[in-house]
Amino acid sequence: MDDELESIRRRKLEELMKSAKETKSENWPNEPVTVNDETFNSLIHKYHLVVVDCWAPWCGPCRIIEPMIEELAKEYTGKVVFGRLNIDENQKTALDYSIMSIPTMLIFKNSQLVDRPIGAMPKEMLKSRIKNYLD
């Protein structure tokens, strides 16, 4: 009898955890979110892990990595949120984080800046940096 109850409890717990995980990922964007000086802090506080791509329209390498950021946003839906910050239009945030070169990625975990890869890089290289912060 105890084994049967334990089995039922375990199954129910697994179902609840699966449901919570699915609900959680449904609320996460599956594409990069455009952020600005006003919305930046709310984004990094809303999600557990956020990668912000700091870019400018005139930056060739920024344009080259844009499709990669879009792919990663889809791949990591429910785990990582990707933001895009145009530094020309949002100089306050760029100054706050001392963005001197672009593209620069700001990686936030629990609202804290934990990494800042600078420059265009292959997708796998960025993925390995992000994986360091996945739970």
Q: What is the pLDDT of residues 8-41, one digit of tens each?
A: 878 877 777 665 554 444 589 999 999 999 999 9
**Residue 108, SS3 per DSSP:** strand
Catalytic residues: 59, 62
What is the reported pTM? 0.79
DSSP-derived secondary structure letter, 118: B
Summarised one tens digit per residue, pLDDT across range 48-63 is 999 999 999 999 999 9
CA distance 28 to 73: 10
Q: At CA 48, angle to CA 42 and CA 53, rounded to 5?
A: 65
CA distance 76 to 96: 27
First-residue to last-residue Cα distance in the chain: 36
